[in-house]
Amino acid sequence: HRHVSPNFITEIIDEDLRQGRYKKIVTRFPPEPNGYLHIGHAKSICLNFGIALDYGGECNLRFDDTNPETENEEYVEAIKRDVEWLGFKWAKECYASDYFEKLYECAVELIKAGKAYVDSLSEEEMRAYRGTVDTPGRPSPYRDRSVEENLELFERMRRGEFPNGAHVLRAKIDLASPNMKLRDPVLYRIVHAPHYRTGDRWCIYPMYDFAHPLSDFIEGVTHSLCTLEFENNRAIYDWLVENLKGKCGLPQSPRPHQYEFARLNMDYTVLSKRKLIRLVEGGYVQGWDDPRMPTISGLRRRGVTPEAIRDFANRIGVAKANSRVDIRIFEAAIRDDLNHRAPRVLAVLRPLKVVITNYPEDQEEWLEAPYWPHDVPKEGTRKLPFSRELFIERDDFMEDPPKGFRRLTPGGRVRLRHAYVIRCDEVVKNARGEVVELRCTYDPDTLGKNPADGPVKGTIHWVSARHAIRAEMRLYDRLFTVPNPEEGGEDFTRHINPDSLVVVEGYVEPSVRHDPPDTRYQFERLGYFWQDPADSSPERLVFNRIVTLRDARTK
Ligand code: ATP
Ligand code: MG
Ligand code: MG
């Protein structure tokens, strides 16, 4: 089977192969190690690695590490862990910083060819000189420096003789171009800051527009896939490749090409490392791997599987126009994956005590209960203890039920899942008038069959109080209350959902003790859950709700 459904990029590749332009397809996933990967990156990972798999090619993991002030090793390690967890293997682990010497050589080559110059305008002046979409730019007074002067200044920049911002290296392209990016883009800037890999060896660093195409070229990348906001940068990409091919050890051909696809934007979250950092540093969440975060590590901890994420990437496809994806598409992919993976067990989130008055105190029985519903083709059962005292869900009892309420009411009957039909005879309240206990009787002749006078309407979940395991239940909801937290340029932190995490003390049936700790369950009628990998222990079970069973909201 194919990893990537046909799209405009696979069509381009098919045509390239038909024309014999490339022998082997090489892609790369190029994160900057300045934060943790999120679900948007997963889209790019599935595309780049998936294409390499589908075409028998290779995909490199390239760290685009040209900004010393924001990057570090922790992020590198986290990114590697996340890509591996998603199920992909890179052909080579590459670093743009490994090419610094080669990139410097390329810059010198451009200077010698009269195609790059050292500019000494301030950033502000440079902006003013660049003009606007409607007016052409004006040449900087430094644009016509001689090759010799440029070479000397550039070398002195490298030696550290100038402070930050004193000079930059710019490509000499076209100051009148309607594409603003082509108006002599900056290729190098001075940054006196140690780099997490190259230490103090450099104090000039290449810009993305310079480093990216040349890194692709150096690695033999054939199809360089990036998001749409880089559409206008493609002209610089091509200019650099054309001007440097066959030079500085770069091949004449094949040359890499850039293609742009729509970035993933999703409702009820933000997908940008810069913004996710604010959530972490502002203490709005408990870390990069907080299960509410759209990060790969957050989703992993929440209990989402790599298969669900890959399936989601396929469902949304790859297109040329930006759009927002309805978060329900993601939630549906998670549910579809868990549906056939998660055994059904019983748990109670908000317990209400039920005493079966006609069940002897010293008695218990272990009922045989199937793990799977009829529509999941899997077999297996566990023993479920039944005894005199049970817990049911508080919501499953109502004193004054609305019409159509099918669960337990005073004098009413309900079936306990996998067990008996019970009748509520008495409601016990505390001094404040709150219901604290139900006294019920069970019909011993209803195991696996209807009562003599016909079926009861509702079935509810329950656990045996004496046997159940107390557990912390973490109920997660969307992180934001509005679909687009950034709409209207507002500060997105204003829209954080105050109820994105609700913690309750619940109970789960004892069979879970026998399962591997990473088992994902469906707690019947409640949602999909698994044990929090960081905080759960045999002494203290902590469950994360991965996703609810269905979307209760209309939108
Ligand atoms: P962020 O704004 O989150 O920092 P970025 O694009 O700056 O994103 P990079 O580390 O440079 O992050 O991204 C690595 C790769 O992942 C790039 O090719 C980028 O285009 C892609 N990517 C990043 N965000 C998304 C997204 N939301 N949807 C699809 N691809 C994305
Ligand atoms: Mg980037
Ligand atoms: Mg970025």
**Residue 228 belongs to some domain of the structure:** yes
Residue type, 517: P
pLDDT at 340 over 90: yes
The burial class, CB within 10 Å (0-12 / 13-18 / 19+), for 549 is: middle
Distance 273 CA to ligand 2 centre (A): 9
**Residue 255 belongs to some domain of the structure:** yes
Closest CA to 461 of 379, 399, 517, 521: 521
pLDDT at 246: 98
Q: Are 355 and 391 spatial neighbours (Cβ–Cβ below 8 Å)?
A: no
- Ligand 1 site, residue 44, Cβ cutoff 6 A: yes
Q: How many CA atoms lie within 13 A of 461 on its CB side?
A: 22
Give the global pTM. 0.95
Q: How many CA atoms lie within 13 A of 264 on its CB side?
A: 28
Helices (H), 120-207: 123-130, 147-159
Q: Are 61 and 48 spatial neighbours (Cβ–Cβ below 8 Å)?
A: no
pLDDT (average), residues 330-348: 98
Closest CA to 336 of 153, 550, 536: 550
- 207 lies in the same domain as 64: yes
Predicted ipTM of the assembly: 0.96
pLDDT at 555 over 50: no
- Residue 47 pLDDT class (50, 70, 90 cuts): very high
Per-residue DSSP letter, 409: -
How far is the CA of 119 from the CAs of 112, 122, 523, in angstroms? 15, 9, 65
Please provide the average confidence, as pLDDT, over all residues in the chain. Answer: 97
Number of H helices, E strands in the chain: 12, 27
pLDDT (average), residues 342-368: 98
Please identify, among 421, 443, 466, the residue that sits at the C-terminal boundary of a domain: 466
Please identify, among 443, 466, 489, the residue that sits at the C-terminal boundary of a domain: 466
Q: Which domain holds residue 240?
A: 8-265
- 178-206 pLDDT, tens per residue? 999 999 999 999 999 999 999 999 999 99
Give me the CATH number covering residue 232: 3.40.50.620
pLDDT (average), residues 402-417: 97
- Residues near ion ligand 2 (Cβ under 5 Å): 32
Q: Are 438 and 426 spatial neighbours (Cβ–Cβ below 8 Å)?
A: yes
**Residue 295 belongs to some domain of the structure:** no
Please identify, among 466, 495, 513, the residue that sits at the C-terminal boundary of a domain: 466
63, 67, 76, 227: residue to mutate for ligand 1 pocket, most atoms within 8 A of CB: 227
The burial class, CB within 10 Å (0-12 / 13-18 / 19+), for 474 is: buried
- 264-309 pLDDT, tens per residue? 999 999 999 999 999 999 999 999 999 999 999 999 999 999 999 9
- 257 lies in the same domain as 364: no
- 144 lies in the same domain as 250: yes
pLDDT at 551: 74
pLDDT at 554: 42
Distance 17 CA to ligand 1 centre (A): 27
41, 267, 271, 324: residue to mutate for ligand 1 pocket, most atoms within 8 A of CB: 41
- 441-473 pLDDT, tens per residue? 999 999 999 999 999 999 999 999 999 999 999
How far is the CA of 275 from the CAs of 34, 190, 193, 378, in angstroms? 12, 26, 23, 43
pLDDT at 553 over 60: no
- 476-517 pLDDT, tens per residue? 999 999 999 988 888 999 999 999 999 999 999 999 999 999
pLDDT (average), residues 152-165: 98
pLDDT at 63 over 60: yes
**Residue 270 belongs to some domain of the structure:** no
- 241 lies in the same domain as 359: no
- 261 lies in the same domain as 360: no
When divided into structural domains, the chain yields a total of: 2
What are residue 532's phi and psi, to 5 degrees? -60, 120
**Residue 524 belongs to some domain of the structure:** no
**Residue 549 belongs to some domain of the structure:** no
pLDDT (average), residues 328-332: 96
Peptide bond just before 254 cis, omega within 30 deg: yes
- 126-141 pLDDT, tens per residue? 999 999 999 999 999 9
Instruction: Please report which helix (H) or strand (E) contains residue 85, including its range.
Output: helix 73-85
The burial class, CB within 10 Å (0-12 / 13-18 / 19+), for 266 is: buried
**Residue 553 belongs to some domain of the structure:** no
Give me the CATH number covering residue 386: 2.40.240.10
- 254 lies in the same domain as 366: no
pLDDT at 1: 87
- 233 lies in the same domain as 359: no
**Residue 74 belongs to some domain of the structure:** yes
pLDDT (average), residues 59-72: 98
pLDDT at 552: 64
Give the integer Cα–Cα distance in Å for 85 and 297.
Answer: 9
